[in-house]
Amino acid sequence: MVIVNFFDELSQDFNRLLSDTNNYDTVIQAGKKHNLKEFKVLSHVLRARSPYFKKTLSDKGAKNKKDAVVLLKMNIPPNIFFVIIRYIYTGTLDLTDKSGSNILDLLVAADKLILNQLINHIQKHLIKNESAWLHNNIVDVLHTVIKLQSCMPIRNYLLGLICKAPHILFDSGDFTTVDKNILLRIIKSVDLNSEEIYIWRSLIEWGTTQLCDYLKRNPEEYPITKWNDNDFKTLKKFLGPFIPYIRFHEMSYEGFRYIVKPYKKALPEKLYQELESYFIAGLKPQCSKLQPRISIDSVIIERKHLATISSWIENKFDKFSCDFKLSYRGTRNKFNFNSVNDIYDCNVATLLLIKVKNSDLIIGGYNPTSWKVIYDDYIEEHEESDEEDEYLWTPTLDRKDSDTHKLSLVEYPDNAIYNYNYDDLFCDMPYMNFGGGDLELNGKRVSCSKSNYEMLFGVDVYFDAEEIEIFKVKKLLSD
């Protein structure tokens, strides 16, 4: 039996039905006051397409106007509601020339009307096509989507984006208006990719604004030198929920002296005494028990690169954080892989990083399962992994330009990892080999030839590594 779908004609027919103002049993008033418009529609269509309308149209609270039901939709602008009604009738959505603000309003309306297909599409559209607008309006967007249970994908995207690049939030013009609970969630995150002194400085800026708003003063006209004891007590209340998550011990003495000490009266007395003892006598404070924020013992990459790599490993920012333990450094281990048998002999995820000699290019690979030595064969143990979101991949990073970072996933998983022992005059140690040649490592000599992964690295087929690092990777559940 052959089934043929004529959806285009069906959509056109329903579009004509929508335009027929003589055929309706329901009038919906969208907007309010001077921006009000009536939509004449059929309740059966709305009931079939929207759980919200299915319930609302049967409620006793509906008002009768002649033979039609009148529903007041005071919180949806007419231009947004038109897009919604057209989608309900025809299944089509046109976002051409729609501003980011209009699309966000459309998302809120779709959430209200429980139009799940539309909700999912709009979120993907915003992330893919409106990223610049999201960056520039991140506070307003967060305040909107944080309240919508159906908008977890875009909410996680924005929170992950802030963790990866905190300046997008901290340096934004409306940062000081961000909701306390949103800011607390961000500062609590171990994935927050920032120096602790920058986090503290931003928190003080936010707290000072809350204080001045409370006092009805202009922050620029009310510097700390004019504050009295009650002002510090009020600031202490604003900062209280955040203090347990600030890693003061990771700051320098100069940072503590010039940026923390002036706000001594806004800190718990015991904490400040511990901090003084730490910076003067080296006695560890209670806050030192906090799990370090995203960090890595590397001479190849910086914290900013680690945020990108962690997101590639984790796939979801709010689910895991990663611990990276250095097992091998080429210059330290004299480029001898015999010193890293613990990686080859046990089931452990590993991250390989290679700094290309005389270049800012960094390449490498991630293996989520094992490097057990099976000579002259592909290793297929990754197929036994319990986690569906794990992939073998190779990254390309640039130490200076974050916009050029690339990720290359394996195309043929059965051929993802190849390992063998090559005995000749030059080598008597195991290799690391992604894809049977896509990335092959022997001592400090590296070769690349596309075979089983998506793309090449953009470097010579053979080159020398300036530095090589191998890390054991452990996923940790976030709070």
pLDDT in tens, 274-292: 999 999 888 888 777 887 7
Residue 211 placed within a domain: yes
Domain count, the chain: 3
Residue 166 placed within a domain: no
182 neighbors 175 (Cβ within 8 angstroms): no
- Residue 452 and residue 319 in one domain: yes
3-state class of 119 per DSSP? helix
Cβ contacts of residue 358 below 8 Å, gap of 6+? Answer: 466
The rounded percent of the chain whose pLDDT value lies above 70 is: 80
Q: Among 233, 256, 289, identify where a domain stops.
A: 289
Burial class (CB in 10 A: 0-12, 13-18, 19+), 66: exposed
pLDDT at 450: 83
Domain that holds residue 215: 195-289
- Residue 285 and residue 311 in one domain: no
Name the residue type at position 317: F
Q: Among 260, 289, 318, identify where a domain stops.
A: 289
- Residue 365 and residue 253 in one domain: no
Q: Name the β-bridge partners of 473.
A: 324, 349
Alpha carbon separation from 72 to 25, 55, 57, 64, 155 (Å, rounded): 15, 15, 12, 12, 29
- Residue 359 and residue 434 in one domain: yes
Mean pLDDT of 445-458: 79
pLDDT at 74: 63
Name the residue type at position 231: D
- Residue 200 and residue 234 in one domain: yes
Q: Which of the pair, 317 or 214, is modelled with greater confidence?
A: 214
pLDDT in tens, 399-432: 555 556 777 888 887 777 776 554 443 444 446 7
Q: Which of the pair, 475 or 451, is modelled with greater confidence?
A: 451
pLDDT at 395: 55
Cβ contacts of residue 136 below 8 Å, gap of 6+? Answer: 172
- Residue 39 and residue 90 in one domain: yes
- Residue 145 and residue 58 in one domain: yes
pLDDT in tens, 52-109: 988 888 764 445 545 556 666 667 999 999 999 999 999 999 998 899 999 999 999 9
* Complete DSSP assignment for 227-289: --HHHHHHHHHHHTTTGGG--GGGS-HHHIIIIIGGGGGGS-HHHHHHHHHHHHH-PPPGGGG
pLDDT category at 193 given cuts 50, 70, 90 is confident
What average pLDDT is seen over the chain?
82
CATH number reported for the structural domain that contains residue 58 in this entry = 3.30.710.10
Residue 273 placed within a domain: yes
391 neighbors 418 (Cβ within 8 angstroms): no
| DSSP assignment letter at 406 | E
- Residue 314 and residue 361 in one domain: yes
